[in-house]
Structure 1
Amino acid sequence: MSQSATKAASAGDSAGLGGALTFLFALSCGALAANLYYAQPLVSLMGADLGLPIAAESAIVTVAQIGYAIGLVFLVPLGDLLENRALILVTMATNVVGLAGLALAPGLTSLFAGMLFVGATSCAAQMLVPLAANLAPEEERGAVVGNVMSGLLGGILLARPVSSFLADYLGWRGVFGLSAALIAVLALVSLFMLPQREPAGERGYWSLIRSLGRLFVTEPVLRRRGLYHAAMFAAFSLFWTAAPIILLREPFDFSPSGVALFALAGVLGVFAAPVSGRLADRGYARIGTISALSMVIAAFFVAIFGATSLTALVVAAVVVDLGVQANLVFGQREIYRLAPNIRNRLNAVYMTTFFIGGAIGSALASPVLEAFGWFGVCILGMAMPGAALVYFALAEGKGD
């Protein structure tokens, strides 16, 4: 199998992904990543159903993101050790099991356990992205990663309106049940379409895991890009966990379907990914990063007026998502230039770093909103990318 896998990988490297396979990569990444965000506009419904205190509702999203970080650290690096196709298929199959269990969760313990398990196995998305990068020609890698990431980001951005809309008809459990069916179908299609790729590495598993910390320390580009996006993703998670909560309250009094319509504003952010990938291929990652960080700071300033203005909230939502998604692709393009044979580990460190930031942002949303109101959320949201911008100026002010 190793010889045939190598041939398949070589064929993919020379020919690229092709339209159908690129679409499968993008759709699968989007469906898997969406699992982390279906709960974001539903935390109030889930908490009320299972007796969770209001101040702790955002912990539902936080647990999923912690699970994702666990998967990034302990599962994604296996892509540098095991045959990629088999690894991805097994991880997707276990994700289906986790989603089905979550849909049937009888209480808070099983809810949080289910969210943790679903989060961990949804990291199959981050096995697909480096596989796409490995199959793409060097001169097109940014564009290919951007196209695949547009699917992943589309899943993240559509997850909120889709789950809000479906919850009105199927309840929150139905949302996760439908997701289980979708991932099962995609896994079946992937069984026939995904190419095999046997990694060249000979390292043992624990040696592979220990190398992650060393990569963070020894690769300054990886470390900087991870920390920039940790701040950005914290702001992103803060906004999208807190905004649905205030929309369900006065003066807006939105229904879940109303929140779904609001969340559609963020879907425009998906267009940032392919554009950013092409700009990165042309050497504009540096100015693009500055622009993306500045956009999110400006978005939260506008969002201050969103306590009473729906227009301000919509504008802020669009700009937050555009800035965050653009910065993600700039960062990925930069780290994929470092070492082709360890892309799974580079991706694991990068994603783990910023998902920790996202978990922090989600965890802070409910308590900050309850203690300091929407104004406090917006000030914290500006401070996060502001700190990243200061770090960027100090670390890269004189060039990379």
Structure 2
Amino acid sequence: MQPKLLAVAAGVAVATVYFAQPLLVTIGADLGIAAGTVGLFVTVTQAGYGLGLFFLVPLGDLLDRRRLIQLQFLLLAAALLATGLAQNAAMLLLGLATVGTLAVVTQSLVAYGAALADPARRGRTVGTVTTGIVLGILLARTTSGILTDLLGWRAVYLAACATCLAIALLFTRRSAPAPLGAGPVPTYGQLLRSTVRLWREPVFRETAVRAFFVFASFSTLWTSIALPLTERRLSHTEIGAFGLIGAAGALAAGPAGRLADRGQGRIVVIGASMLLATSWLVTAHSLAGLAIGAVLLDLAVQAIHVTNQSLIYRPDAGSRLIGGYMVFYSLGSAVGAIAPTALYERAGWTAVCVLGAAFGAGSLLSSVRGARRTSRASRPCGSSR
């Protein structure tokens, strides 16, 4: 399957995780949940995503990736249907958690594309699929805002259900199996244990920590952005339109992948981490500043994300590496979802911006430390500098 088609499928799958973000106030009001706790919708989805990353994504190193992806899309469609029909808070939270768990098919698509790609173009392929993921994340807000204004929030999940069924059919007709890594086939238990042992690898550990900070900062913005915009009496469509503004961040995925192929990944993550931390200085002020800051933040996040995956990927453990790495993405996203909504209620938007900038500073620190470690490892024996 062509990388662009994989990008579309990945974008649709990941969008299901983010549909609720511009609708938090509306869904909460419909189901009788207080405004200060509506961030829980995003948190349970991200918690489910984290579980799926650990327990489902590694299966790509054991089973036929094409059939696994198809099955995940079918089950995701069922979870979306249940969410769209939820009649109370408990049903909704269970549905969202299940959606998050199955939406990890996005990362199965990344591993699938990387396995099919020529090694010299692997970074570009990952960048293409990641562009689809970025657009899915950001346009999810626009789509859900428009559909909610026209048909109500439940229509968002029912439409997504139909789309996932169509994608499952596409994988029956248009895709080919991807090769598994060489060597003996591990058991499922061995896969999970080897995923845990990835933490021993310095490069994986560095990228995982950086992913936590990066996506905590990302989620801090996109979970809480609906709160100040709702206070300004913007409609769901207008709030969702901020996703279109942030979609400019997808432009960073392709160039970052090409730089990673050329061995410039360290420079990318340091520069992008600096941009991530400083983007919040712009975001803290006017509505225009919020739009500009969102673009800068998304550019930084996607550049780091593509480079991280290129740095850690290897064919013999592609699904495990990406799944294990994305666990930290999910943890960061969950922290960035639950903290800012409560903080905004108590201290306002400036406090939220300080939190987001602090997460960006954490990414910069991990990047600088990683560069120093690499520099020390590359010095000749006996060198003192």
**2:382 corresponds to:** none
Answer yes or no: is the 8 Å Cα contact 1:82–1:198 preserved in 2: no
Please give the secondary structure, in 1, of the residue aligned with 2:152.
Answer: helix
Q: TM-score, normalised by structure 1?
A: 0.91
Matched, 1:142 2:123: yes
**2:297 corresponds to:** 320
The amino acid across from 1:46 in the alignment is I
The amino acid across from 1:372 in the alignment is A
What is the alpha-carbon distance in structure 1 between the residues aligned to residue 227 and residue 343 of structure 2? 12
Matched, 1:246 2:228: yes
After superposition, give the CA deviation of every residue in 1:17-47 in whole Å (9 maximum; x if it has no partner): 5xxx222211000000000111011111110
- Note the C-alpha offset of 1:121: 0.6
Please give the secondary structure, in 1, of the residue aligned with 2:326.
Answer: helix
What is the alpha-carbon distance in structure 2 between the residues aligned to residue 376 and residue 81 of structure 1? 45
- Note the C-alpha offset of 1:80: 0.7
Answer yes or no: is the 8 Å Cα contact 2:116–2:178 preserved in 1: no
Runs of 4+ in 1 over 6 A off after TM superposition: none
Q: 1:54 aligns with which of 16, 19, 35?
A: 35
The amino acid across from 1:224 in the alignment is E
- Note the C-alpha offset of 1:265: 0.7
**1:213 corresponds to:** 196
**2:327 corresponds to:** 352
- Note the C-alpha offset of 1:196: 1.6
Q: 1:298 aligns with which of 257, 261, 278?
A: 278
The amino acid across from 1:215 in the alignment is L
Q: 1:260 aligns with which of 240, 249, 257?
A: 240
Answer yes or no: is the 8 Å Cα contact 1:157–1:270 preserved in 2: no
Alignment of 1:180-259 (within 5 A): 180-197=161-178, 199=180, 200=182, 201-216=184-199, 218-249=200-231, 252-259=232-239
Q: 1:362 aligns with which of 311, 331, 337?
A: 337
**2:358 corresponds to:** 383
Alignment of 1:82-101 (within 5 A): 82-101=63-82
What is the alpha-carbon distance in structure 2 between the residues aligned to residue 294 and residue 52 of structure 1? 37
Q: 1:154 aligns with which of 135, 139, 144?
A: 135
- Note the C-alpha offset of 1:235: 0.5
Please give the secondary structure, in 2, of the residue aligned with 1:399.
Answer: helix
What is the alpha-carbon distance in structure 2 between the residues aligned to residue 23 and residue 290 of structure 1? 28
Please give the secondary structure, in 1, of the residue aligned with 2:92.
Answer: helix
The amino acid across from 1:65 in the alignment is Q
What is the alpha-carbon distance in structure 1 between the residues aligned to residue 7 and residue 238 of structure 2? 28
Alignment of 1:60-139 (within 5 A): 60-139=41-120
What is the alpha-carbon distance in structure 2 between the residues aligned to residue 203 and residue 391 of structure 1? 32
Answer yes or no: is the 8 Å Cα contact 2:10–2:132 preserved in 1: yes
Answer yes or no: is the 8 Å Cα contact 1:92–1:183 preserved in 2: yes
The amino acid across from 1:367 in the alignment is A
Identical-pair percentage: 37
What is the alpha-carbon distance in structure 2 between the residues aligned to residue 142 and residue 388 of structure 1? 21
What is the alpha-carbon distance in structure 1 between the residues aligned to residue 4 and residue 26 of structure 2? 33
Matched, 1:334 2:311: yes
Q: TM-score, normalised by structure 2?
A: 0.95
**1:5 corresponds to:** none
CA RMSD, Structure 1 to Structure 2 (Å): 1.2
Answer yes or no: is the 8 Å Cα contact 1:63–1:112 preserved in 2: yes
- Note the C-alpha offset of 1:198: 5.4
After superposition, give the CA deviation of every residue in 1:196-245 in whole Å (9 maximum; x if it has no partner): 235354211112111111111x2111110111121010010010111111
- Note the C-alpha offset of 1:397: 2.2
Q: Unpaired runs of 5+ in structure 2? A: 376-385
The amino acid across from 2:33 in the alignment is L
What is the alpha-carbon distance in structure 2 between the residues aligned to residue 310 and residue 193 of structure 1? 44
What is the alpha-carbon distance in structure 2 between the residues aligned to residue 112 and residue 290 of structure 1? 37
After superposition, give the CA deviation of every residue in 1:257-308 in whole Å (9 maximum; x if it has no partner): 1112222110101111111111111121111101111111111111111xxx
After superposition, give the CA deviation of every residue in 1:375-396 in whole Å (9 maximum; x if it has no partner): 1100011101102212322332
Equivalent pairs counted in the alignment come to 373
- Note the C-alpha offset of 1:157: 1.2
Please give the secondary structure, in 1, of the residue aligned with 2:374.
Answer: coil
What is the alpha-carbon distance in structure 2 between the residues aligned to residue 374 and residue 246 of structure 1? 7
What is the alpha-carbon distance in structure 1 between the residues aligned to residue 79 and residue 280 of structure 2? 35
